[in-house]
Amino acid sequence: MKALKKLNIIHYDSEFLSRNGFKYLVTDSGEFRLIGSFEDKAEFLKTINAEYPNVVVFDFTSKDSLTSADIEKIREARKSPGFLVISNNFKKETICEFMDCGVECFVTKACSKDEILLAIKAAAKGERFFCNKVLEFIIDKSFQKKEDCEPTKLTTREIEILKLSAEGLDAKEIADKLFLSLHTVYTHRKNIMKKLNLKSNSELIKYAYKNNIVST
Amino acid sequence: MKALKKLNIIHYDSEFLSRNGFKYLVTDSGEFRLIGSFEDKAEFLKTINAEYPNVVVFDFTSKDSLTSADIEKIREARKSPGFLVISNNFKKETICEFMDCGVECFVTKACSKDEILLAIKAAAKGERFFCNKVLEFIIDKSFQKKEDCEPTKLTTREIEILKLSAEGLDAKEIADKLFLSLHTVYTHRKNIMKKLNLKSNSELIKYAYKNNIVST
DNA sequence: TTTTTATTTAGACTAAATATAAATAATAGG
DNA sequence: CCTATTATTTATATTTAGTCTAAATAAAAA
């Protein structure tokens, strides 16, 4: 069937309000066909494989969110749809992760109707679209970093110790908790600070909060 | 029961998705009449004074959110409507502030349709309703506190030092910055910890972040 | 004025952290 | 399988940071 070819959109968000707000948005404009707005991930993924969406829209902070592995699977299965994240609470790491696996567009839920519509169309064409807030966020947060999106890599043990530090535990408590020598904790912390270019335990804790390594 | 009298609801949220999701929610159920779902605060407040809402629903993290002063003004003007906050990113202080000025119900945007409907009805009757997430939050966060919602009052100097600590400055740097003796800084910090019942500089920094004394 | 609260400081002492060095454990690459 | 690398662990000696006790000064409240 020729006629005017509407863009097929599929949506996944655990928030009721967002699902219905989105439903209203895309159906009202008349330019799109909404395949569905899903709360359940399994059902959502099944429908993607049955229908042929041009654009996949999702909130990556949903309860049982899409992972980058999910996205890659979708990409592999067919001609890749465009991906658009509509969310709040963007975290640097998460944005990077999804950018790396090919998600084109990111907007916040605070964005205007027009901006969201623009983002959908951009995603359909495989173009990038970041709303100002996301953009600001990326620029701001990637200030101190070098080239890539990843912060200097910490080992699992180092991250563990960083987290506990940010929880307010001192070196001794961490040592007790992890059954380590106090010296070990100091050494790890020293290495963390070296890798992240920090100069005190306070800065380390600050880093953990600013970079969402612990929840606020 | 006057079966025909629908509850009048008015809604204020800067997020497009939420406004439309909410619109759908309340109109679909047939139990309510939605006076309007507003993006603009002035317009919203004007409409409240013109119409007679039974329930006022709003997101207190909106761009130009309702203040507790606004709420009080609405309360004074007429028989008080019920108030329901639908939001994410609850902060302890904000919840307390709005509870103090008489807001009955709090739910998150992640709540189910049914829960939101329950909350609306509770607000209309002047009853309290907290969703589980908000409840958890309140219980968790008010653990270490005494009676009131306010954290133990710190002096201006103490807050100043708390902030600088959270920024990652050590005692010496704070002393230099404020032209104080190192001992003075230690004393202030000791007093802060005593007042807040904290036992280390790390916990102090954690406290600052958890309580939004510094921005994340 | 007297009392309380806030702010400031010091000396003696204690706990925490660093620098340096190095030994295992685990892992990746050939 | 062996080896180079990385991760994890620990210790000693030394330095630095922080606490305890005590108290002076200033400002604000009673």
The CATH architecture that domain A7-138 belongs to is 3-Layer(aba) Sandwich (3.40)
Q: Are A18 and B109 in contact (CB under 8 A)?
A: yes
Instruction: Give the C-alpha separation, A185 to A89, whole Å.
Output: 31
Handedness of CA B197, B200, B204, B206 (dihedral sign): negative
Instruction: Give the C-alpha separation, B92 to B137, whole Å.
Output: 8
Report residue A189 as tokens: 């912390």
Give the model confidence (pLDDT) of B127-137 as tens digits.
Answer: 777 776 776 56
Q: Within 7 A of a protein CB, which nucleotides of strand C?
A: 5-11, 16-22
Give the model confidence (pLDDT) of B66-102 as tens digits.
Answer: 888 888 888 877 788 999 999 887 776 677 678 777 7
Average pLDDT, chain B: 80
Alpha helix stretches (DSSP H) within chain A: 16-29, 41-50, 68-77, 92-100, 113-124, 132-141, 156-166, 171-178, 182-196, 201-210
Domain boundaries in chain A? 7-138, 156-210
**The predicted structure's pLDDT at residue B143:** 36
Q: Which long-range contacts (CB under 8 A, 24 or more apart) does B170-176 make?
A: B170/A200, B170/A202
Report residue B60 as tokens: 């207190």
Name the helix (H) or strand (E) containing B71. Answer: helix B68-77
Q: Residue A154 burial by CB count (10 A; 0-12/13-18/19+): exposed, middle or buried?
A: middle
Give the model confidence (pLDDT) of A95-136 as tens digits.
Answer: 767 876 778 888 888 877 878 888 898 888 887 777 766 765
Q: How does A158-167 read in b/e, with b if 16+ C-beta sit within 10 Å?
A: beebbebbbb
Whether B144 has a pLDDT exceeding 50, the answer reads no
Instruction: Give the C-alpha separation, B36 to B11, whole Å.
Output: 6
The CATH architecture that domain A156-210 belongs to is Orthogonal Bundle (1.10)
Q: Please name which of B124, B142, B94 lies closest in space to residue B31, comparing C-alpha atoms.
A: B124
Chain A contacts of B109, Cβ < 8 Å? 15, 17-18
Distance (Å) from the alpha carbon of A81 to chain B's nearest alpha carbon: 23
**Can you say how many angstroms the Cα of residue B142 is from the centroid of all Cα atoms in its chain?**
14
Q: Do B169 and A21 touch (CB under 8 A)?
A: no
**The predicted structure's pLDDT at residue A148:** 37
CA angle, residues A111, B55, A22, in degrees to nearest 5: 30
Give the model confidence (pLDDT) of A145-154 as tens digits.
Answer: 333 334 457 7
Distance (Å) from the alpha carbon of A1 to chain B's nearest alpha carbon: 32
